[in-house]
Amino acid sequence: MARRGVVAGLMVGPLAALAVGFGGLAAISAGAGLASAGSDAPITLTVGVIQDLDSPNVTAGYLVSSYELWNLQYATLTDKAAADFAVTPGLAESWEVSDGGLTYTYKLRDGLTWSDGKPLTAADVAFTINTSRDQAWLNHSATTANLEATVIDDRTVKITSSVPDPKLPVMDVYILPEHVWGGFTVDEISTYAALDGVGSGPFTLTEWKSGQSWTMKANPSFWRGAPAIDQVIFRVFTNPDAMVAALKKGEIDAANDIPSSAFEGLKAAADVEAVFGTQGGFTELAMNGMAGGLGDGHPALLDLNVRHAIARAIDKGALFDRVILGLGKPGIALSVSPDPAWQPDIPVAEQYTYDPVEANRLLDEGGYLDTNGDGVREMPDGSQELVFRYAERSESENSAAIRELITGWLDAVGIGSTVDVYDDTQLTDVIGSGEYDLFVWGWTPFVDPDPMLSYFTCAQVTTSMDAVGYNDANWCDARYDELYTAQNQELDRAKRIGIVQDMLRLFYDESTYVVLFEDANLQAYRTDRFEGWTRQPAATGPVLFTNSSPTYVNLKPIGAGGGDDGGGLGTGALVAIIAGGVIILGVGGSLAMRSRSSRDDRE
């Protein structure tokens, strides 16, 4: 699915975190990652992050940070090449197609085991696919909804789709150990703490100190062999400038979500490589479409002309230049994949570009007038002022700057605002309950657009807080759903691209999302400790928090031999990383990150 990133300005694709506190483990010291020659101390890679985990539970989390954990802990049947996302063998060493493309039979590698020593077999694969379908796991179901997995023998699993599936043979959902996860009911599984640390990827979780750090140790049972690094520590910072300082001083080995204001300066820092990457992440202003029947959204937002007026009131160019300092790309339509081929070409004349005169005209003609001269317009029947509740994320360096600009532009066309500040967990609940009017967050999509597109179907609208969906636009349209089903089953790539572009044009015109800008992934790493840093994709991607996170297994201490630029681990079938002001964020590689996965980028 998609992943929620940290938020615009920090420049990662979408989702957010419970992150607080930047104190790392007491054992972390300046000089950090490498053990000295002859030492028994573990070889440790320390990564600075702004976003903490929301949950280690793959059925419940949604932040980009959590996807990174899952990429490292859970291998997938197929992987993605680091260079270009091409499908490569993973847990499955080969596969065959039959039944006119509806059935794929996967052959597992010989001798696979979980990190606790128990055999990893076709039964684990079938359990994951069939249970995620039946229980509708948010971070799997976009891929598994139409699939049936059948065990042929311990090393062979047959997967049959009830409809044509353009994502196959890619099968990048995280495979879970049935002996750990098999005893949970649908109500129990999403609340499982998932601190067991049993996985099949290159690293497994050993400790999570909420607001401080999480630690993962090398898995000697990983099918590609044990990594050269003994452990990875993700150290959580509340102050991104402190994170940058720690990188320069050698207290950490790498950093994700470098502030725009610090990025250029890192290019000249000694023994530091600054990385400008893109993965299709974006930051958006979302409006409450009120389709779920929950909450108390402002009725004016149901008027398409009001939404268009809001879009016209926002100077995206100023946001791009003043907030993210030109590091990224101005936003137009929803970004659903790192591949720009899926994006529609919307002529400038048909875009809702900055035009406050047109914004005022739309509001005037709609009868939204300021009848008492207080500077704020009222509903046409005079029943309520146009004062919108703006929900601001506390876990983003640039949220306040974005909010100040947006509310100022709205004020200039007669729309008032009140502001409440929430951490990402609180904001997720506020959005699910429908008790908001506006918020800014972001997403980072997966390679295949399907997971990100699925988030805005009617089925993902939250109608009960007992089952929070991904559709944080709170918007539902039967035409969009019909097009979603069509692209979901279209095997001809060119035809499918056309359908997806029609969906994105419809979503753009409906304007419950105003994409403010496409985020860059700003990262940096020290060059004096490890080699093998791997961009994904090779030409434009970042080195960390990517779709399948190949860097970690490729890294070696300097002088220990070169890295491997081959495929990485799969990211679950999902999501669209929630980026931007937000929500990473967070699948076919599927998913986006607003990660607002199951709730929960977001970025």
Domain boundaries, the chain: 282-519
State the pLDDT at residue 397: 80
pLDDT exceeds 70 at position 590: no
Contacts with 495 (C-beta within 8 Å, 6 or more apart), sequence order? none
Distance CA 593, CA 15 (A): 6
Map residue 260 onto helix, strand or coil: helix
pLDDT exceeds 50 at position 569: no
- H helical segments located in 97-201: 122-135, 141-144, 178-181, 186-189
Contacts with 230 (C-beta within 8 Å, 6 or more apart), sequence order? 42, 43, 44, 217, 218
pLDDT exceeds 90 at position 556: yes
160 - beta bridge partners?
103, 148
Distance CA 597, CA 64 (A): 9
H-run or E-run covering 213: strand 213-218
State the pLDDT at residue 26: 33
pLDDT, tens only, 338-385: 999 999 999 999 999 999 999 999 999 999 999 999 999 999 999 999
User: Taking the C-alpha atoms of 412, 413, 415 and 418 in order, what is their torsion angle to the nearest 10 degrees?
Assistant: -20
**Contact (CB, 8 A) for 521 and 279:** yes
Residue 257 is given by DSSP the state S
Give me the count of residues in the chain. Answer: 603
In the chain, % of residues over pLDDT 70: 86
Q: What would the mean pLDDT of 103-111 be, rounded to a whole number?
A: 98
In the chain, % of residues over pLDDT 90: 81
CA 122 to chain centre: 29
Q: What would the mean pLDDT of 97-104 be, rounded to a whole number?
A: 97
Q: Which residues of 478-496 are buried (b: 16+ CB within 10 A; e: fewer)?
A: eebeebbebbbbbeeeeeb
State the pLDDT at residue 32: 60
H-run or E-run covering 248: helix 240-249
Class of domain 282-519: alpha beta
Distance CA 339, CA 84 (A): 10
DSSP 3-state percent helix, strand, coil across the chain (nearest 5): 25, 20, 55
Distance CA 259, CA 11 (A): 7
Q: What would the mean pLDDT of 187-200 be, rounded to a whole number?
A: 96
pLDDT exceeds 60 at position 117: yes
Distance CA 130, CA 136 (A): 10
Residue 144 sits at φ, ψ, to 5 deg, of -100, 0
State the pLDDT at residue 4: 52
